[in-house]
Chains A and B, each alone.
Chain A
Amino acid sequence: MSKRNSLLSINNLKVSIAEKIIISGLNLTINHGEVHAIMGPNGSGKSTLAKTLAGHPECNIHAGSINYLGTKIIDLSVEERANKGIFLGFQYPIEIPGLSNTAFLKAALNAQRKSQGDEEITAVDFLKELKHNAEVIGMDQAFLNRGVNEGFSGGEKKRNEILQMMMLKPRLSILDETDSGLDIDAMKTVANGLNSMRKKDSSFLLITHYDRLLGYIKPDFVHVLSKGRIIQSGDSTLANKLEEKGYEWLTKTK
């Protein structure tokens, strides 16, 4: 299962939240530089998978293993995983009133650097990069000094997630329904940000309901999740098929 250049490999994963089994025997391998999309109906376990990978305390792992960069990460803390390059783009990004976006991002970036034994980023370098990235995704500079997600619209919050991702340069970005609540223009800018990072060592796990986003970012693999398991995998044409036929033809044959 673990190929030489595998970034993430999940084997027979079983997860419950509040005593309810959500993920029941999931297998998935993502190699360096690959873009995977996970689709599936509501309640199939997509968000739980994302939270489990990030180490959310409410996700109880009953069985299976998660290997990331050659190490088992189930016992690692949330921040340790983050500092190893796992990024979760939240479905509902939370507000932190009064704490400026800039200060928050700088703290995050420096935490990452500290974990790698690097020195703190200089204020000048930081601001330069921040402004550049904000431009790429079309975010107004004024947002940078506002409280983290404070009073942001749904779309602004999602853009902010992408901005954070671009600043932190994760190896693996898990984007949980980043496309929902976005209009076409916002979707394009988000895709811009994402495509700008889509290089050799950046991998993506896109969790999505629809194939709208996938029109802008062509995935290498598409997986269909149902009742906590992957029931079908294929290339990007699978997404189109799902769009035409819905999920039923898959879940019925199961």
Chain B
Amino acid sequence: MQPTNKNKSNPEIEKHIDQSYKYGFVTDIESETIPPGLDEDVIRLISSKKNEPDFLLEWRLKAFRHWLKMKPPMWAQLRIEDIDFQSISYFSQPKSKNAPKSLDEVDPDLLLTYEKLGIPLHERAKLAGVAVDAVFDSVSVTTTFKEKLAEAGVIFCSFSEAVKEHPDLIKQYLGKVVPYRDNFYAALNAAVFSDGSFVYIPKGVRCPMELSTYFRINEAKTGQFERTLIIADEGSHVSYLEGCTAPMRDENQLHAAVVELIALDDAEIKYSTVQNWYPGDEEGKGGIYNFVTKRGDCRGKNSKISWTQIETGSAITWKYPSCILRGDNSVGEFYSIALTNHYQQADTGTKMVHLGKNTKSKVISKGISAGHAQNSYRGLISVSKNAEHSRNYTQCDSLLIGGECGAHTFPSMEIHNSSTTLAHEATTSKVADEQLFYCRQRGIEEEDAIALIVSGFCKEVLNELPMEFAVEARALLQVNLEGAVG
């Protein structure tokens, strides 16, 4: 008799792969999309379509001229096909006569899209008291709970609306944390950004509900360039969450966003991201190129900015949400889960720049690699001469599933003050066959077992998410791990 080995750990999970990205549908909606290509006329067109004030157009043009002199960054641990920036359309919006004044005027197909994504925009269908701004391709579709937020003095609206309604705030803060000169993609974004979210929390106000923005790319051959600006005035507090999805397409699509956070004295901003852009298929075809610049300025004393990110999507992820700890006693935190499967690549991490005295930062990074994926952590802890008694704790863990994937860590430190306290821990582990056997012996199927092991590995980061999103994040991790064993 032939040796039998029927229980080998490669069940027919391959068949699940096709189902794994459930947000891959396209909404058939009439859009106004400008032809591909980028020059000053395109930028003028975008600006005029949005009726922008002159200062903003000038700023865009300066950014564009600067961008022309720049080259895409090549230092990351990423293999990227050359991007033809002239083949992308830089503006697309759902066609409607006028901007909708209320939800009733929003195209029903659009509402249906968000329903399908699990994001009810109807205020009646309250999402556990979360206010939502929905951005579809280049423009904001609607923002919920506006009136209720206004009662507290909180401004939560699309970026375009903020430009019209609160130009002074925009003028004062735009590009102050991430200047257009910062990097190639930040410059491109400054030149062509189309919309995004704007938040202002007045002095002493604790924002009465979670704020969130859902970004959706729908149109083919378009890029999405949104900008988010959050200002937390003295003694205020806000928790904000963004989510992202896109249809399945064979070609790569570009997403280059900029997020700027400003926390004044005693203010706190908690920014959470669940990034689930289309990751490409199991062969590595298609998927979103995600180049994002996120930075928070802890400008005031005792201020705090906390980044939490769950990065499960995108063919390529390039992002380093960072904190400038300018105010004395300010605190920066970075909690990250980056999951890459199949041929996904992620190069992500953070920069903590300690400028003020007694500043503290904490970095917890969890990288999970499966399939043929490559996952890198890149971090910088910088302590300036004047940052007396600063402290950093960095913990950087990698988990490998299978033998074809890779995990890399690139931590660096620039310390110019001898009173600094630093601690760095790093581990790399594999999901062991014996762990899987143990779980399966208790009746748990292999894929569920992997999801459990991964959720255990990610516990410290998942605990940072607002309750209602932690559940979603766990489910997302599980879905994105499908086909990870075999």
Interchain nearest-CB distance for B135 vs A (Å)? 34
Q: Is the CB of B438 within 8 A of A107?
A: no
Q: Is B452 close to A, CB under 8 A?
A: yes
Are B3 and A16 touching (Cβ within 8 A)?
Answer: yes
Least Cβ–Cβ distance between B401 and chain A, in angstroms:
14
- Asked if A111 and B4 make an inter-chain contact with CB atoms under 8 angstroms apart, the answer reads no
Is the pair A57, B443 in contact by a Cβ cutoff of 8 Å?
A: no
Contact A74–B4 (Cβ < 8 Å): yes
Show the binding face of B for A, using Cβ within 8 Å. Answer: 1, 3-9, 11, 432-435, 437-446, 448, 452-453, 455-460
Contact at A78–B440, with CB atoms within 8 Å? yes
A82 touches B3 (CB 8 A): no
Contacting pair B452 A82 (CB below 8 A): no
Residue of A nearest to B457 (CB): A98
Which chain B residues border A90 with CB–CB below 8 Å? 438, 441
A69 at interface by CB-CB < 8 Å: no
The 8 Å CB contact of A99, one of B440, B446, B455, is: B455
Please indicate the chain B residues that have their CB under 8 angstroms from the CB of A104 in the complex: 439, 442, 452
Q: What residues of A have a CB within 8 angstroms of the CB of B459 in the complex?
A: 98-99
A-B contact pairs, 19 of them (CB 8 A): A54-B441, A55-B7, A56-B7, A57-B8, A74-B4, A78-B441, A79-B444, A87-B441, A90-B438, A90-B441, A94-B432, A94-B434, A94-B438, A96-B453, A97-B456, A98-B457, A99-B456, A111-B448, A112-B443
Contact at A83–B443, with CB atoms within 8 Å?
Answer: yes
Interface residue ranges, A against B (CB under 8 Å): 16, 54-57, 60-63, 74-79, 82-83, 87-88, 90, 93-94, 96-100, 103-104, 107-108, 111-112, 115, 147-148, 164, 168
- Please state if A57 and B7 are interface contacts (CB–CB under 8 Å): yes
Q: What is the chain B residue whose CB lies nearest that of A86?
A: B441
- Say whether A97 contacts B1, CB under 8 Å: no
Contact B7 A96 (CB under 8 A): no
Contacts of B443 in A (CB 8 A): 79, 82-83, 108, 111-112, 115, 168
Assembly CA distance A168 to B438 (angstroms): 14
CB contacts (< 8 Å) of B445 on chain A: these are 79, 111
For the A-B complex, the count of residue pairs with Cβ-Cβ distances under 8 Å equals 97
Dominant SS at the A interface? Answer: mixed
Contacts of B433 in A (CB 8 A): 57
Inter-chain CA distance A164–B439, complex, in Å, is 12
Complex contact A63–B1 (CB within 8 A): yes
Chain A residues, Cβ within 8 Å of B432? 94
Collect the chain A residues with CB atoms within 8 Å of residue B8's CB.
57
* Residue of B7, B11, B438, B456 with most partner-chain A CB within 10 A: B7
Say which residue of A63, A88, A96, A111 sits within 8 Å of B456 (CB atoms). A96
CB nearest to B4 among chain A residues? A61
Tell me how far the C-beta of B474 lies from the nearest C-beta in chain A, rounded to whole angstroms: 11
- Find out whether the CB atom of B11 lies under 8 angstroms from the CB atom of A77: yes
